[in-house]
Amino acid sequence: MRSVVRPLRTLLVANRGEIACRVMRTAKRLGMRAIAIYSDADADALHVRAADQAIRIGPAPARESYLDIAAVIRAATEAGANAIHPGYGFLSQNADFADACAAAGIVFVGPSGAAMRAMGRKDEAKALMRAAGVPVVPGWQGEDQSDATLLREAERVGFPLLVKAVAGGGGKGMRVARHSAELPVALSAARGEASRSFGDARVLLERLIEAPRHVEVQVIADRHGGCMHLHERDCSLQRRYQKVIEECPAPGLSAALRARLHAAAVRAAQAVGYENAGTVEFIVAGDDGWFLEMNTRLQVEHPVTEAVLDIDLVEWQLRVAAGEPLPAQPAAPRGHAFEARVYAEDPRNGYLPAGGRVEVLHWPARDVRVDAAVEEGDRVVTDYDALLAKVIVHGVTREDALMRLESALLATRIEGVTTNLAALVALTRDSDFRSGRMTTGLIDSRGDALLPDAGTQRERAGAIAAAALLAHPSGEGADPWAAKDHWRLQGPRDFAVHFMQVPGTGFSVAAAAAITESLQPGAHPSSCVSVSMDEVRVWLDGEFFRLARVARGAPAESAGGSGEILAPMPGAVLDVLVAEGDAVTRGQALVVLEAMKMEHTLRAAAAGRVEGIDVRAGQRVRDGERLLSLAIRDEAIGDEA
């Protein structure tokens, strides 16, 4: 390949977040001007700062900004861009957008609108794949969407089965029915979510393959008839059909199955005259694999392919879009790579998306690639996808790479925004994942047991904080004469710490003498701690605990208090699950909120009683609006807490 892409001079990235930053890095390296677009919610976002020029395209709602085709085309014209890279999500698989680019004389870095349409509808795509000799999961696709027809066809296909949105993707509009009695509920839920997400309520039926793996093959094709696979990735670690950790190559595949999947993926791309990068996805069980769908764009997990093949897929995309032929097929994968997706979400509260300002941000430094959407001080909004960053590691073997991934995640610290880091760390330690025996149901089957017990983790964090206070009673590097800890000459260091997140729970420093050696600061490889004049911060197994210092002899506030349940983002209340006066336990479901086209369950962070309810089912709420309030149960801070 030549060193620069001369036909493409100015590239507009029709996306946001980490993928926009990632695409612009390659574009600039190739000597191109990089143009960003942004909504009002993203005016100060990292991708805006990373661009050579940034253009506002509308207010926060995606339909009025990032999904507004006319606005994106106007921005490209204004910036003098002769190419648009769509990233993933938003308009990346919108055939009308690809056609609009062509009509405006702008190069679309991706396939044609016709190829998108061919693969965009799951029913039509499966028919094309059958004709091309690609194995397809048994199912039914048809225009008659009556309940009677769907029930009759479901009996023919056989239970258990999946009800899937025809125009779906990303796990939206998908429900399981294990027998005929469950089908009406599954149909209603899938249709409703499909209509809200895609504006198309039509569904198809597909036999449910129990305990499968999700394996995808990266393909790329040029306009000169060249088409090749770039090996495969395993994306089985999913939560509610959303990928969490991916790897390349896929472990445990026989040579014969791997060859069949590679060949089938190339045939699938050729069947629709595909051009540019795409991914053909398969369901795998044992030594069999079936076509699932084709994503007609770059995938979130593309960096693991880049790591093992030592290529830049975005560069390949740009060169193919500029009309260059593909290079020779790369050599076999070198080593093994993992990618973990760091989301702004709370794994202890149903993975509810979280927002806020990033107060402290520390990424792993050595031998780790981080594709990030934020920097320290940035505000995380809840208007769009919750992905903050991708942590990518490469090792000589799978075992080596997995060890590097765990270490990288433990070295990552994000304060101010709740993340899924604890769940990612727990997954790297899961026995089935470590042995390569994972399936797409692994995370959901683990449920709350995936994470260590919350109470035990708080006790461990409290013990670590107390031990740290014994070593640094005035704070690390602090002036002891300015300390506010009631220390006195020749007197006991008698103070406590209590958790800010869970009122009424804490740990007494007087009990720290009995702390085992394994909990001493710095001795536990999964923890780090910092002591200041007023608080102690503890990172333990990917979770962040902030503890306030309380003098034992000083007047203390009540450990109880009022806990407000606030809307984490704009949305609609689907259900209120408690009544005023009800006693609730920690983790109990309180309110179901629909936001970002998905249902989210808000749970109690501590035991208490419902003091007041401020909303009702069907009501729309703003970000931060109070939904209900709890009186937190009093629990005194004691030596054994």
pLDDT at 163: 94
The whole-angstrom separation of Cα 8 and Cα 637 is 65
pLDDT at 443: 95
Cβ atoms of 421 and 542 within 8 Å: the answer is yes
pLDDT-derived band at 195, boundaries 50, 70, 90: confident
Q: Specify whether domain 10-109 bears CATH 3.40.50.20.
A: yes
pLDDT-derived band at 597, boundaries 50, 70, 90: low
The whole-angstrom separation of Cα 544 and Cα 550 is 19
H or E element that contains 375: none
Q: For the chain, give the mean pLDDT.
A: 86
Helices (H), 199-322: 255-271, 302-309, 313-321
pLDDT at 512: 45
H or E element that contains 386: none
For residue range 455-487, list pLDDT tens digits in order: 888 888 888 887 787 777 666 554 544 444 444
Segments making up each domain of the chain, as ranges: 10-109, 114-137+212-334, 138-207, 335-444, 454-551, 561-632
Amino acid, single-letter form, for residue 56: R
Q: Which two tokens stand for residue 263?
A: 């060949």
The reply to whether 138-207 shares the fold of 10-109 is: no
Q: Rounded mean pLDDT of 239-261? A: 95
Question: What are φ and ψ of residue 152, in 5° steps?
Answer: -65, -45
CA angle 115, 119, 121 (to 5 degrees): 130
pLDDT at 498: 58
Which of 528 and 262 is assigned the larger pLDDT? Answer: 262
pLDDT at 620: 87
CA distances from 131 to 126, 264, 268 (A): 9, 12, 10
Catalytic site positions: 297
For residue range 2-25, list pLDDT tens digits in order: 444 458 999 999 999 999 999 999
Placement of tokens 């330690």 in the chain: 429
CATH ID of 114-137+212-334, from 3.30.70.890, 3.30.470.20, 3.40.50.300, 3.40.140.10? 3.30.470.20
**What are 377-380's contacts with CB under 8 Å, separation 24+?**
378/44, 378/45, 378/46, 379/44, 379/355, 380/344, 380/354, 380/355, 380/356, 380/417
For residue range 37-50, list pLDDT tens digits in order: 999 999 999 999 99
Furthest C-alpha separation in the chain: 86
What would be the CATH architecture of the domain defined by 335-444?
A: 2-Layer Sandwich (3.30)
pLDDT at 366: 80
pLDDT at 368: 97
pLDDT at 550: 64
Looking at the domain 561-632, which fold is it?
OB fold (Dihydrolipoamide Acetyltransferase, E2P) (2.40.50)
pLDDT at 121: 74
Q: Which two tokens stand for residue 537?
A: 């911060």
User: What HEC string does 18-55 produce?
Assistant: HHHHHHHHHHHHCCCEEEEEEEHHHCCCHHHHHCCEEE
Q: Specify whether domain 138-207 bears CATH 2.40.50.140.
A: no
CA angle 103, 299, 177 (to 5 degrees): 105
> Could you count the other beta carbons within 10 Å of the beta carbon of residue 106?
18
For residue range 573-593, list pLDDT tens digits in order: 999 999 999 999 987 889 988
The whole-angstrom separation of Cα 527 and Cα 479 is 26
pLDDT at 172: 78
| Rounded percentage of the chain residues whose pLDDT exceeds 90 | 63
Give the residue among 322, 357, 371 at the shortest CA–CA distance from 11: 322
Residue 594 burial by CB count (10 A; 0-12/13-18/19+): exposed, middle or buried?
middle
pTM higher than 0.75: yes
